[in-house]
Amino acid sequence: MQTQVAIVGAGPAGSLLALLLHQAGIEVVVVERQSRDYVLSRIRAGVLENGTVELLRSAGVGARLDAEGHVHTETGIAYRAEEIFYFDIGKYAGSQFVSYGQTEVQKDLYEALDAAGVPILFEADDAAIHEPTGEHPYVTCVHGGEQVRIDANQVVGCDGFHGPSKDAIPHLRRYEKTYPFGWLGILSETPPLEHLIYANSERGFALCSQRNPMLSRYYVQCPLDDTVDDWSDDRFWSELMARLPQHVGDEIVTGPSIEKSIAPLRSFVAEPMRHGNLFLAGDAAHIVPPTGAKGLNLAVSDVFYLSRGLVRHYHDGDDHYLDTYSDMALRRVWASVRFSWWLTSLLHRFPDQTEIDQRLQEAELALIQTSDRAQALLCEQYAGMPFES
């Protein structure tokens, strides 16, 4: 099998990149280790920055997002039991964000790729990248019980934190920070709150989020050694309410969970994001704690930079944007890693945290609440910076 660009991983980054390249007349083949149903069953982020929304629209996959997504400009932060304030990215950053689940983005991308006839090899085992610094790197995998070789001009690794693409880059620099807690998240078929609300509580972090008008997503901080079996629905709702101001909790409609999972938190960056004709994008290159809602948005920004570079390469013979891809992408990555680390540190209860640490968190939140300059800085970062030209 031969193509111009081979993509390993058919999550949001790989799928969106494949669609953009196909629309530009560039041949693409995508390899995915999991089944299509498995990819669509993964519960992930649901907050899309304005730049992400605009790129999805330009790719022709924004219709359902516009019809069903919930537009926000304000997000709440609760602390000191009954204290809550809202930071307004519309006012301070001239922007907005949309609540629309990653699963829904993935469905839209698959439908567009199906209609375009872009080949995706699902359930492809043992994927490996060969000769990444050569003029014609290639990917091998086992698909349908047969060995498959895909010859290409470029290979893009969109295969996540555990995929093989990073391992094909010698002397890759890896930066990692793990956090001593996880997020227990549930989905419930209940009407969500009007706004997203973060909570800093002496009992730990909590988050009220949403997916659509009848699907809510809630989280509480929990120990890493907890399991889903440790958390009945009743225990979860009780703990969530205990971490929120009473007037916020009184507005929450509870109900049976339809999905429940625990996710560890980590910060991870791999440098460089290019090695010869192998490029990394999305979670293959970086992971951020979900606190800042940056994971999916960073993957989309990678796709923006890389698709632009590949289109210029094939259409104009201009390699400027390919040659600067890693540097451009990493500037945005590190800014988002820093912001996500800061927000995580500000809102969570750490195991060794003392009473003075808690009061210092509350003092910083009070500063943000009362300072226009502090709110403007928070809003600018939360909204997401424009893509670099």
Asked whether residue 135 is assigned to any structural domain, the reply reads yes
Q: Is 290 a catalytic residue?
A: yes
Element (H, E) at 231: none
Active site residue 198: yes
Whether 121 is covered by a domain: the verdict is yes
Q: Is 187 a domain residue?
A: no
* Residue 105 located in a structural domain: yes
- What's the confidence (pLDDT) of residue 42? 84
Give residue 32's domain range.
5-46+101-176+268-346
Q: Is residue 329 domain-resident?
A: yes
Compute the distance between CA of residue 170 and CA of residue 162 in angstroms, rounded to an integer.
Answer: 16
Domain of residue 110, CATH code:
3.50.50.60
Q: Which of 166, 294, 313, 348 is catalytic?
A: 294
Q: Which of 110, 198, 218, 305 is catalytic?
A: 198
In terms of Cα–Cα distance, which of 235, 217, 202, 253 is closest to 78? 202
pLDDT in tens, 71-80: 999 999 999 9
Given 245, 290, 305, 348, the catalytic residue:
290
Decide if 292 is inside a domain. yes
Burial class (CB in 10 A: 0-12, 13-18, 19+), 123: middle
Q: Two tokens at 220? A: 């509480």
Active-site pick, 22, 72, 166, 286: 72
**Is 376 contained in some domain?**
no
Predicted confidence (pLDDT) at residue 282 exceeds the cutoff of 90: yes
Chain segment 202-240, per-residue pLDDT in tens: 999 999 998 888 889 999 999 999 999 999 999 999 999
Q: pTM (2 decimals)?
A: 0.95
Can you tell me whether residue 385 is helix, strand or coil? coil
Domain assignment present for 316: yes
Catalytic annotation on 72? Answer: yes
In whole angstroms, give the CA distance from residue 136 to residue 324. Answer: 21
C-alpha 177/C-alpha 183 separation (Å) is 16
**Total domains in the fold of the chain:** 1
